[in-house]
């Protein structure tokens, strides 16, 4: 089973992806995490992606497709994707890579104003990438990661002006993608403002029940 988590910045793709990955015991592959790791390690990929990420733009398709084709080819069995596909070229590549594998697109939905507010309180561990929220999912000790003791920071692209850019860009790309997957009858809509465990349970229910179409 392959699950693609789709949705605007801040809907919870990373957070829910981590919970689902533990629950279903399948790996999570996050484009944002791979890119941020490469930026931190100053690799060739990281230096190509950095300027796009900082201003909230998409990293060019050729870079992302090469990176993800390599990642997906390494995986055996089920997995979860967070952040791919995000353009129609990426949709085509994923279709090719999936060939006979069944997969579902989980479309996490919330209003922009809600997401702007939510992202202003997000904090990330500099060391392991764990995701926190100052109100909803606070660390036990302020500024310190519960998991590894690393320092928490606010992502550069979580500044309100950059979040607005990212949301606007998402809306220009999203519709043809969700329309396409809706026609393919593999799109499952889920509200992103529900409690986390409810979202995880809903996703599991919707991908289990093949007859449930939206």
Task: Give the footprint of ligand AP5 on this chain (CB under 6 A).
Answer: 9-15, 31-32, 35, 52-53, 56-59, 64, 83-84, 86, 90, 118, 122, 131-133, 136-137, 157, 166, 196, 199
Question: DSSP of 128-154, one letter per residue?
Answer: T--EEETTTB--SSTTB-TTT-PBEE-
Q: How far apart are CA 198 and CA 204, in angstroms?
A: 10
| 92 is a catalytic site residue | no
Taking CB atoms, the residue at the shortest distance from ligand AP5 is 32
Coil, strand, or helix at residue 173? helix
Sign of the alpha-carbon torsion through 162, 166, 171, 173: positive
Quote the least distance from Cβ 100 to ligand AP5, whole Å: 23
Cis previous bond, 85, omega within 30? yes
Catalytic residue among 36, 93, 166, 188: 166
- CA contacts within 13 A on the Cβ side of 195: 3
Quote the least distance from Cβ 127 to ligand AP5, whole Å: 16
With both helix axes pointing from N to C terminus, report the angle between 61-74 and 88-98 in degrees, rounded to the nearest 10: 20
Catalytic residue among 37, 50, 155, 164: 155
| 184 is a catalytic site residue | no
End-to-end Cα distance, the chain? 19
Q: How far apart are CA 152 and CA 149, in angstroms?
A: 9
Catalytic residue among 122, 123, 188, 206: 122
| 13 is a catalytic site residue | yes
Enumerate the active-site residues: 13, 86, 122, 155, 166
């Amino acid at each position: 089973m392959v699950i693609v988590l789709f949705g605007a910045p801040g809907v919870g793709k990373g957070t829910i992806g981590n919970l689902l990955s533990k629950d279903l015991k399948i790996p999570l592959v996050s484009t944002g995490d791979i890119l941020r790791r490469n930026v931190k390690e100053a690799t060739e990929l990281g230096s190509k992606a950095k300027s796009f990420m900082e201003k909230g733009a998409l990293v060019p398709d050729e870079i992302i497709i090469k990176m993800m084709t390599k990642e997906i080819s390494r995986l055996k069995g089920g997995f979860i994707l967070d952040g791919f596909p995000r353009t129609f070229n990426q949709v085509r590549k994923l279709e090719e890579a999936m060939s006979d594998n069944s997969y579902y697109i989980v479309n996490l939905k919330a209003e922009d104003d809600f997401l702007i507010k939510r992202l202003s309180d997000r904090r990330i561990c500099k060391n392991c990438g764990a995701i926190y929220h100052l109100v909803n999912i606070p660390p036990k000790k302020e500024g310190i990661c519960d998991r590894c003791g690393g320092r928490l920071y606010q992502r550069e692209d979580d500044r309100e002006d950059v979040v607005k850019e990212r949301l606007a860009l998402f809306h220009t790309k999203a519709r043809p993608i969700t329309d396409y997957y809706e026609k393919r009858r593999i799109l499952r809509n889920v509200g992103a403002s529900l409690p986390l465990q409810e979202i995880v349970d809903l996703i599991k229910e919707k991908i289990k029940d093949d007859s449930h179409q939206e």
